[in-house]
Amino acid sequence: DEWKEKGAAVRVRQETDANGNTVTRVVKKGVKDFNFGRTLGEGSYSTVLAATDRTTLKEYAIKVLDKRHIIKEEKVKYVNIEKNTLNRLGDHPGVIKLYYTFQDERSLYFVLDLATGGELLGTLKRYLGTFDVECTRFYAAQILDTIEYMHSRGVIHRDLKPENVLLDDQMHIKITDFGTAKILELPKPSNNSGEGPDLTDAFKDDVRANSFVGTAEYVSPELLTDKAACKASDLWAFGCILFQLIAGRPPFKAGNEYMTFQKIVNLEYEFPKGFPPAAKDLVERLLVLDPTKRLTIEHIKNHEFFANMEIGRGLWKQKAPRLK
Ligand SMILES: Nc1ncnc2c1ncn2[C@@H]1O[C@H](COP(=O)(O)OP(=O)(O)OP(=O)(O)O)[C@@H](O)[C@H]1O
Ligand SMILES: O=C(O)C[C@H](Cc1nc2cc(Cl)cc(Cl)c2[nH]1)c1ccc(Cl)cc1
């Protein structure tokens, strides 16, 4: 059924009735429609609670944000970016789905997919911090397939890391935390002599507004040097995650953020002994300082590390490998 968002909490749902006619149902959800359960976790500006829809009994994760706190901390922009980005990314198994948003006098509410498996980082740590190659290949492929979808929808995540990769009840991934994502605006129709769209606005906006830097260990060098993230920045982070799934630590980690940034811009990292050669080759082609020289998604999918893996929708029907 096609969900269309109209207004803050009014949603229109197209359905086909018994005689095959398309009927339009207006669904207005609010706090009263849910039974709230246990706390799944806390963010800096949010609390995430398990909740059940009282009519459909479907379970959700509801992220609750305190309006006063959001305003005081000047996070309004991030909340609206998270909403707009999640609304653009509603149709892929690897992205946390946003079903409804609504508000009451005190809070804002995001009604999201419930990821019962927690964070990939937590699961990783329970297995001595490393996965074997088969598990690494499966999770890296799911992350890559999801990045490809995000980029195809004009979204750069900008803060990919194992904490933002959640796991559902099938131990498949769900990427979350889009408050710091970048939506690549379609260039505004320009007033130049019409020889094509004026791209400078989109770029200028990015650099000027780009005070955001992701999490130190996964930040790309271009974000540190010329302050502009691009799609290849997500692939740098992908390279760091791939390295970490096998090595049990991220490639760039130092005593403090500044030292970590130094290692990144100087490409100072080394592989632990026994790092599988195919994975090593792929990581080396991702952790490249010049973003234009980094492997593209197409090339990554054809890299020998993913040999005879079909990286597409079929991936999501496979059973997740038993972690070991
Ligand atoms: N859809 C979800 N299903 C299950 N748990 C979730 C879901 N979304 C978030 N969580 C958990 O809730 C906690 C808070 O998540 P939230 O996104 O609100 O803040 P955060 O991004 O982790 O923190 P910060 O806002 O400081 O970056 C996290 O530990 C996360 O693992
Ligand atoms: O875009 C919409 O649908 C409407 C609003 C927009 C919006 N209203 C806000 C009020 C406050 Cl106090 C803070 C933020 Cl970030 C606010 N964002 C909204 C409602 C709920 C959620 Cl989760 C996000 C945005």
Contact indicator for 222, 230 with CB cutoff of 8 Å: yes
CA 148 to chain centre: 11
Nearest CA to ligand 1 atom 29: 41
The pLDDT-based confidence of 4 (bands split at 50, 70, 90) is: very low
Question: Ligand 1 centre and the CA of 265: distance in Å?
Answer: 30
Sole residue written with tokens 């948003």: 101
pLDDT at 315 over 80: yes
Find the residues whose C-beta lies inside 6 A of ligand 1.
40-46, 48, 61, 63, 96, 112-115, 119, 166, 176-177
Pocket probe mutation, ligand 1, options 45, 121, 176, max atoms within 8 Å of Cβ: 176
* pLDDT (0 to 100) of residue 209: 54
Question: Ligand 1 centre and the CA of 53: distance in Å?
Answer: 20
The pLDDT-based confidence of 207 (bands split at 50, 70, 90) is: very low
* pLDDT (0 to 100) of residue 11: 66
Nearest CA to ligand 2 atom 6: 80
Contact indicator for 282, 303 with CB cutoff of 8 Å: yes
* pLDDT (0 to 100) of residue 210: 62
* pLDDT (0 to 100) of residue 5: 44
Question: Ligand 2 centre and the CA of 89: distance in Å?
Answer: 18
7-28 pLDDT, tens digit each: 345 667 788 988 999 998 887 8
The pLDDT-based confidence of 185 (bands split at 50, 70, 90) is: confident
* pLDDT (0 to 100) of residue 204: 38
Residue type for position 12: V
* pLDDT (0 to 100) of residue 190: 53
Stretch 126-132: mean pLDDT, rounded? 90
Q: What is the DSSP letter of 119?
A: B
> Which of 42, 10, 37, 34 shows the shortest CA–CA distance to 24?
10
Nearest-atom number in ligand 1 for the CA of 42 is: 14
What does pLDDT average to over the chain? 90
> What is the sign of the dihedral through the CA atoms of 278, 165, 181 and 158?
negative
More confident residue, 14 or 237: 237
Nearest-atom number in ligand 1 for the CA of 46 is: 18
* pLDDT (0 to 100) of residue 201: 40
Helix axes 231-247, 133-152, angle to 10 degrees: 170
* pLDDT (0 to 100) of residue 187: 62
More confident residue, 18 or 284: 284
